[in-house]
Amino acid sequence: MLLTFVMAACSDDKDNDSSSTGSESGGDKITTSAEKETINLTIGSWRTEDVSKYEKVIALFNETHPEIKVEFSPTKNTEYNTVLNTALQAGEGPDIFHLRPYGAGLKLVDAGFVEPITGLEGLNQYSEEFLAASRGADGEQYGVPLNISSTQFFYNKKIFAEQGIEVPTTWDEFIAVNEKLLKAGVTPIAMGTKEGWLLSLTHGILGAGVMDGNSFADKLVKGETNFADPSFVESIKAMNDLKKYFPANSEGLGMDDIRTLFAMEQAAMFPLGSWEIPVINDLNGDLDYGYFAMPSKEGNQTVTSWVDGSFAINANSKNKDAAKEFLQFLTTKEFGELFVKEFNMISAIPGISSENELLSELSKEVESKSTPYYWVINFAGGDPTTKTVLETELQGMYLGQVTPEEVADKVQKSAESWFTPFQ
């Protein structure tokens, strides 16, 4: 019995030695997915409200990549840029991070903080316009487009019906709707001027109505016209004229205030983004509301759209191969369907529909009636950015400190200092 035990022990030792030496013992060891070394990835983002949703995304990813442990670790929106920049400059930061769209994100690319992903499987399905949001000046691709945002007017169907109002199809009809609501004692537009970004966003919607859809935008980005154009000045005047349709004390109202006004049916219309749909639904699940594309004086209709963020890889990540596996997963139909279902946003992946009727309709509008949000796409450069100058000057206009003409003049001076087509 003792001899049998010793022989068995020797046999086990030889087997263990053979396994540990791999090819030296005459054959490669076969490694199963369960035996693979665990790789840890971190994801940085400004979407603190999406933690539970990304847990579902990560769970889906782990069905095919159980060896990669992913942690979604977002930072407060207002602090994200500073926190991320500080970490990247120290050679640290998350393996994957949410890249701000267009100029803001491409600054990180120019600084060498982002890993190129040109050739990543799945990128060829996106349109050139979508890819441009995270494409560097060197022609390399640096991010996977995540979602498309659109801005338009949401409207309360019950209030419209009670007031006998039809959805406007021209600019004049839009003004008539506001007048009728105001005379009926209903706040026409839920809008506040406390937060500057709301003003550039609102101009992105309303400007297309005054300047006839894409006609001005197309010329602007080519340098064939500029912000001294009378039609642009007219769009700023229109913004000023609309103030009487805003709630009382609109200068002190921010995002949370105006969202609540609309959700609680204290205002008839709400000019904002597609990302607000799930938030409004959470505030008031019984609210019966729809949307309309912005009508122009000529009767053309547009929704303003842009890529609202991409995912990129930290150039200093020690797990770039695993990070690329995750980014490739973000290009799949399976991810796109989960994203639309859980996030209630428009996926950048083509052909992904939503069970939410409102969101599904907006997805189609983006494909057929889109106008670019050029404040983000083209004019987020300069120091301060031209977009910021617009926002600051519009706030001053609403306080009666500057005229529409002065707003346009300062915006033009900002843009011509750095925007190549103007030089």
Tokens of 170: 């021209």
One-letter amino acid at 319 equals N
Q: How do strand 39-44 and strand 68-72 relate by DSSP bridges?
A: parallel
- Report pLDDT for 3: 43
Helix (H, G, I), strand (E, B) or coil at 382: strand
Q: What CA–CA distance (Å, rounded) separates 314 from 108?
A: 10
Full DSSP string of 81-105 = HHHHHHHHHTT-S-SEEEEPSTHHH
Full DSSP string of 186-205 = ---B---SSSHHHHHHHHHH
Which residues contact residue 295 at a Cβ distance below 8 angstroms, ignoring those fewer than 6 apart?
A: 168, 169, 170, 171, 173, 174, 209, 301
Tokens of 108: 């990180």
Full DSSP string of 401-413 = SS-HHHHHHHHHH
Do residues 271 and 200 touch, judged by C-beta distance below 8 A? no
- Report pLDDT for 368: 86
- Report pLDDT for 297: 86
Of 1.10.10.10, 3.90.1210.10, 3.40.50.10490, 3.40.190.10, the CATH number of 149-306+369-422 is 3.40.190.10
If 0-12 CB within 10 Å is exposed, 13-18 middle and 19+ buried, where does residue 402 land? Answer: middle
Q: How far is CA 101 from CA 50, 106, 160, 163, 387, in A?
A: 18, 8, 36, 40, 14
Do residues 153 and 304 touch, judged by C-beta distance below 8 A? no
One-letter amino acid at 135 equals R
The single residue listed with the structure tokens 């191969």 is: 321
The single residue listed with the structure tokens 């009378």 is: 230
Residues of the chain with CATH 3.40.190.10: 36-146+308-331, 149-306+369-422
Q: How far is CA 294 from CA 195, 209, 217, in A?
A: 22, 6, 15
- Report pLDDT for 35: 56
Per-block mean pLDDT, blocks of 10 residues, the chain (423 long): 43 42 40 69 95 97 98 94 97 97 92 97 94 96 96 98 97 97 98 97 95 88 96 97 97 97 98 94 96 92 94 98 98 97 92 89 88 94 95 98 98 97 94
Fold for 36-146+308-331, please state it.
Answer: D-Maltodextrin-Binding Protein; domain 2 (3.40.190)
Considering only CA atoms, which of 238, 246, 263, 257 is closest in space to residue 188? Answer: 246
